[in-house]
Amino acid sequence: MTTPPHRPTLSVVAPVFNEEAILHELYRRLRVVLINDGSRDRSLEIMRELHAADERVKVVSFARNFGHQVAITAGADYAQGEAVCIIDADLQDPPEVILDLLAKWREGYEVIYAVRSEREGETWFKEFTAKAFYRIIYRITDINIPMDTGDFRLMDRRVVQALRTMREKHRFMRGMSVWVGFKQTGVHYKRAARFAGETKYPLKKMLKFALDGITSFSYFPLQLATYIGFAAAALAVLGILITIILRLTGSHAFEGQASTLVAVLFLGGVQLISVGIIGEYLGRIYDEVKGRPLYIVGEALGFEEQVNERVAVR
């Protein structure tokens, strides 16, 4: 691939949602492309100041909050580098690890993901649910999403180019960057505690994110209804046989309404859950069919005009 003269070697991209407390420290340790995901605090002001003082800091600001995964998508869209590194703005991913990722890229790897071998300053609940989630998604999807990786990764331009063609609305970038293939490897690191502020992923967002990950890469939840259906039918046949035998031997067990009630409630519950699962997929299909752009940019600082034109609405 020929390199245009202006293309930098590495672009580092960080999504920002209400991170006024960390931006100066982030800048002290790293020069980045910052994606403002509709922050409601002073983040955008600070980002404008950083850009004014140092043009290596570039800013893409969304018209509202579009979510973390869309923010890093925009980062990959706008970044010009031969390699693009995605990193959390809160310094939980130490910028110094980028050197290790870069070394692997120079060896010829095209996706280098950072694997958390240790986590600092997380609640046991977050640690436990994250561990469980990665193990479940590993089992029920066809692609091998590596365990305990986040979005902290370095990607070759060819990978970024491939990701640019994948405009699905409910995005699970850590899965998508595995799905594209290419030469992949991992680098272990110790995930630090947040530099300041608190997590922007409350439980509700985390659950939605987990659902997006599973539905993006697996039909297993849809098939679950079939499995449970077969199991319930088998149980029913067994129940009929047992009842007939009991009646023939003159027993009066299994009489009355309790058993009927239990069966009806159980199957009613299973059916509603199944409808809900179908609903999760249906809603996602609806979002795709609408064909809306992934994000709306309100302001972009530090990019050439034609870049703005090209990807302002994607």
Rule CB under 6 A: which residues touch ligand UDP?
14-17, 19, 37, 65, 67-68, 71, 88-90, 92, 199-201
CB of 135 to ligand UDP, least distance (A): 18
- Residues 191 and 119: beta-carbon distance below 8 Å: yes
Q: Based on the shown chain and the rule CB under 5 A, indicate whether residue 69 belongs to the binding site for Mg ion.
A: no
CB of 91 to ligand UDP, least distance (A): 9
Q: Based on the shown chain and the rule CB under 5 A, indicate whether residue 19 belongs to the binding site for Mg ion.
A: no
* Positive/negative CA dihedral, 161, 186, 200, 136: positive
Picking from 308, 309, 302, the residue whose alpha carbon sits closest to that of residue 47 is: 302
Q: Based on the shown chain and the rule CB under 5 A, indicate whether residue 110 belongs to the binding site for Mg ion.
A: no
Q: Which one of ligand UDP, Mg ion, none interacts with residue 175, CB within 5 to 8 A by kind?
A: none
Under rule CB under 5 A, how many of the chain's residues touch Mg ion? 3
CB of 69 to ligand UDP, least distance (A): 8
DSSP H/E element including 78: helix 68-78
Report the distance separating Cα 82 and Cα 8, nearest Å.
Answer: 6
Q: Which one of ligand UDP, Mg ion, none interacts with residue 177, CB within 5 to 8 A by kind?
A: none
- CA angle 255–256–260, rounded 5-degree value: 100
- Tell me the two tokens of residue 53: 């003082």
Q: Which one of Mg ion, ligand UDP, none interacts with residue 15, CB within 5 to 8 A by kind?
A: ligand UDP
CB of 271 to ligand UDP, least distance (A): 34
Q: Which one of ligand UDP, Mg ion, none interacts with residue 19, CB within 5 to 8 A by kind?
A: ligand UDP
Q: Which one of ligand UDP, Mg ion, none interacts with residue 184, CB within 5 to 8 A by kind?
A: none
Report the distance separating Cα 310 and Cα 227, nearest Å.
Answer: 47
Report the distance separating Cα 78 and Cα 303, nearest Å.
Answer: 8
Main-chain phi, psi angles of 151, to 5 degrees: -95, 0
